Amino acid sequence: MDLFHYISRYFWGVCLVVALINFVSADKRIGSSDVDDKDRADIARRYLRRFSVAGAIPWLIMGWGQVVGNVPTVWYYFRPQDENPYVIAWLGSIFLLSLLYAVWIFFADGARKIHEYELFATVGMRNIKSMPRFLIKLLAAFGPVFVGIWVYLTASMNVSIPQ
């Protein structure tokens, strides 16, 4: 079998590995930063674990769909109009996570916590040390809107599945 087939079949595994790399990188950053306060580092690690678990949920759902369900490759996830329950669960998990993140940012002082504990590396932004809170809020507000538009566009196209 060729590399394209393996990537199509195990894309979810690649994404889990990337999530693990982001977690390790962010954990090292917390451990090596100039944090004098051990409690602050512990709080940052707690948030890091929560973000990492949440970020892995869609890829675990995708993997479950491909290993146990009737979703042969990643390309089927671009066809929600087929109403495959695993595809719907995957898209729903992404939308729900973006919505929960936005609620946390706006109603639980999440922007301050992201900024204060430098949790950007959790989502792959390893080189960003700081970001203005208004930009964190803007990105959080845009998340559910973007996911909704993405799902709508994906469902409205008739994407052919590579064989």
Is the pLDDT at 33 greater than 70, yes or no? no
Give pTM, 2 decimals: 0.88
Query: Mean pLDDT throughout 27-45?
Result: 77
Is the pLDDT at 125 greater than 80, yes or no? no
Q: Does the residue 39 lie in any domain?
A: yes
Is the pLDDT at 130 greater than 90, yes or no? no
Q: Does the residue 32 lie in any domain?
A: yes
Query: pLDDT by residue (tens digit) across 140-162?
Result: 999 999 999 999 998 898 878 87
Q: Does the residue 162 lie in any domain?
A: no
The pair of three-digit structure tokens given for residue 143, joined into one six-digit string? 């998340």
Q: Does the residue 120 lie in any domain?
A: yes
Percentage of the chain modeled with pLDDT above 90: 55
**Cα 109 from Cα 138, distance rounded (Å):** 14
Q: Does the residue 161 lie in any domain?
A: no
Is the pLDDT at 34 greater than 60, yes or no? no
pLDDT of residue 85: 95
Give me the DSSP letters along 94-142. Answer: HHHHHHHHHHHHHHS-HHHHHHHHTGGGGGT-TT-----HHHHHHHHHH
Q: Which domain holds residue 110?
A: 3-156
Query: pLDDT by residue (tens digit) across 75-106?
Result: 999 999 999 999 999 999 999 999 999 999 99
Domain count, the chain: 1
Q: What are the distances in angstroms from CA 147 to CA 75, 100, 103?
A: 17, 13, 15
Q: How many Cβ atoms sit within 10 Å of the Cβ of residue 30?
A: 21
pLDDT of residue 27: 85
Q: Does the residue 119 lie in any domain?
A: yes
Query: Mean pLDDT throughout 13-23?
Result: 92
Is the pLDDT at 124 greater than 70, yes or no? no
